[in-house]
A and B are shown apart, each in its own frame.
Chain A
Amino acid sequence: MKSIFIIMLSAVFVDNFVLSKFMGICPFLGVSKKLSSSLGMGAAVIFVMVCATAVTYPVYSGILAPNGLEYLNTVSFILIIALFVQLVEIALKKIMPPLYNALGVYLPLITTNCAVLGVTLINIENGYSFVESLANSFFVGVGFTLSLILFSGVRSKLETADIPQTFKGVPSTLIAASIVSISFLAFSGLIK
């Protein structure tokens, strides 16, 4: 239980994927314009991260590691994640059309989200057990959602702010992202 709690603190705050490890920046900048869409994206990412971990962990420990093929993990995980996102998309379209419509374009976008690949690889690298890996994936997803929600708030303020012409649009967004990222530095050292 203690290790899961530490994983939670670490994944959500200290090693926040977007703001500390700089993974998944593309959806972070692309989908954080509105609170509702950042929530949808966050939910989809949490779902795919947990499911992808549930598949990649057995594949790694059952097939790759016993045969000394650890170096193949990146490329095989990409294959598995792509397959998984496709399966989820097809299944959702049939079973839950409202959710499929709500997620819309974000679902296929997750295939190319490096945060999903990152979390599966880091689970292996840190030597987590299966349950710990699942917990880590879930909380990394929560951390991703948190940063998206925080940043959508920042961006809604930026919309009406009086910014010099040169900095309007992407530049001011990137600067704001760096400031939010710096604020997350305050969490470093929380866990030793």
Chain B
Amino acid sequence: MFNTFILPIIIFAALGLIAGILLTAASKIFHVKTDERTEQISEALPQANCGSCGYAGCSDYAKAIVEKGAPTNLCRPGGTETTQKISAIMGTTAAEMIPETAVVHCRGNCDTVKQLFEFNGTQTCAAAKRFYSGSKACAYGCIGLGDCVNVCDEKAIEIVNGVAEVTGNCIACGKCAKACPQGLISLKPITKHIDVKCSSKDNGKATKLACSNGCIGCKICEKKCQNDAIKVVDLHAVIDYDKCTGCGDCFNACPVKAITNCEDLK
């Protein structure tokens, strides 16, 4: 009687009790203090969990602000409003927040760049990239199958005439920049309107043969720039947005029109 019924019950009660006591003790010993400001900041953030701040998500960023003193102006989707809210919670003055936008550094559309072959495989850029870097003659350009379009939650980027273009309201989460197998997309301050729309690492002749919109690396823009803001790196021009004043000298000087000026285009 005792061995069949009561002993198992006693053993189980004891096991359960020990487990309960151990867990209670552990939760007291290993109690981690959580700051209530973390939750407040978490609520103030847009909860897009896009990761553009450099942290794993909104709650992770909130934790980093409180515990590690991370800057309050890293949330791009939230913009100035969110920065002010967070700064109010933390009791600091709001740092200025310059909104950013994604920009595609390629303008090799269906009219300007030659098609070498027709790609009938899986219709993603990543798959096409493995196959001779896409079907276009330029191995560095936009493949145009829309991997960036597929990752964009805001529907801010689309394929126009075979080339990705940021057309909608970009929140600068940077997902498209990570998705692009060619690495053509980068983020820039929204106030800067001069862009180099080519990333070709080929020399001038090869670029010219492949695409009529390509940067041939002639360095005329480098000479014309008064602020030392544009440099030819890897045989194509790259703008340093910290120095660029948007004067448009390089845009006017470029012989192949690889540089664009949004104000003039729109």
A67 at the interface (CB under 8 A from B): yes
A86 at the interface (CB under 8 A from B): yes
Contact across chains for A72 and B22 when beta carbons are under 8 A apart: no
Contact across chains for B22 and A93 when beta carbons are under 8 A apart: no
Chain B residues, Cβ within 8 Å of A101? 56
Return the contact of A72 from the options B3, B8, B32, B124 (Cβ within 8 A).
B8
Closest CB-CB distance, B133 to chain A, in whole Å? 15
Chain B residues, Cβ within 8 Å of A75? 12
Main secondary structure on A side of the interface with B: helix
A83 at the interface (CB under 8 A from B): yes
- 20 sample A-B contacts, Cβ–Cβ < 8 Å, listed by A number: A67-B3, A67-B7, A69-B7, A69-B8, A69-B11, A72-B8, A72-B11, A76-B11, A76-B12, A86-B23, A86-B26, A87-B23, A87-B26, A90-B30, A93-B30, A160-B122, A160-B124, A160-B126, A161-B122, A162-B121
Contact pattern, B 1-39, Cβ under 8 Å of A = 1, otherwise 0: 001000110011001100100110011011110000000
8 shortest A-B CB distances, which residue pairs? A94-B30, A83-B19, A162-B122, A160-B127, A90-B26, A90-B30, A87-B26, A91-B30
A131 at the interface (CB under 8 A from B): no
Nearest chain B residue, comparing its CB with the CB of A76: B15
Contact across chains for B15 and A93 when beta carbons are under 8 A apart: no
Contact across chains for A79 and B26 when beta carbons are under 8 A apart: no
Chain A residues, Cβ within 8 Å of B30? 90-91, 93-95
Contact across chains for A79 and B19 when beta carbons are under 8 A apart: yes
Interface size class of B (residues with CB under 8 A): 20 to 34
Q: How far is the CA of A80 from the CA of B122 in the complex (A)?
A: 49
Contact pattern, B 108-152, Cβ under 8 Å of A = 1, otherwise 0: 000000000000011010110010000000000000000000000
Q: How far is the CA of A179 from the CA of B8 in the complex (A)?
A: 45
A63 at the interface (CB under 8 A from B): yes
A interface size (C-beta, 8 A)? 24
Closest CB-CB distance, A38 to chain B, in whole Å? 18
Chain B residues, Cβ within 8 Å of A67? 3, 7, 11
Return the contact of A68 from the options B3, B29, B32 (Cβ within 8 A).
B3
Chain A residues, Cβ within 8 Å of B130? 160
Further contacts, 10 of them, CB under 8 A, given A64-B11, A69-B8, A94-B32: A59-B15, A69-B11, A72-B11, A76-B12, A91-B30, A94-B31, A101-B56, A160-B126, A160-B127, A161-B122
Return the contact of A83 from the options B7, B23, B31, B32 (Cβ within 8 A).
B23
Nearest chain A residue, comparing its CB with the CB of B123: A162
Return the contact of A79 from the options B16, B27, B127 (Cβ within 8 A).
B16
Q: How far is the CA of A80 from the CA of B23 in the complex (A)?
A: 12
Q: A69-B7, A76-B15, A95-B30 are in contact. Are A83 and B22 (CB under 8 A)?
A: yes
Contact across chains for A93 and B126 when beta carbons are under 8 A apart: no
Q: How far is the CA of A87 from the CA of B3 in the complex (A)?
A: 31
Chain B residues, Cβ within 8 Å of A83? 19, 22-23
Contact across chains for A90 and B7 when beta carbons are under 8 A apart: no
Nearest chain B residue, comparing its CB with the CB of A88: B26
Closest CB-CB distance, B35 to chain A, in whole Å? 14
Closest CB-CB distance, A83 to chain B, in whole Å? 4
Contact pattern, A 146-176, Cβ under 8 Å of B = 1, otherwise 0: 0000000000000011100000000000000
Contact pattern, B 81-124, Cβ under 8 Å of A = 1, otherwise 0: 00000000000000000000000000000000000000001101
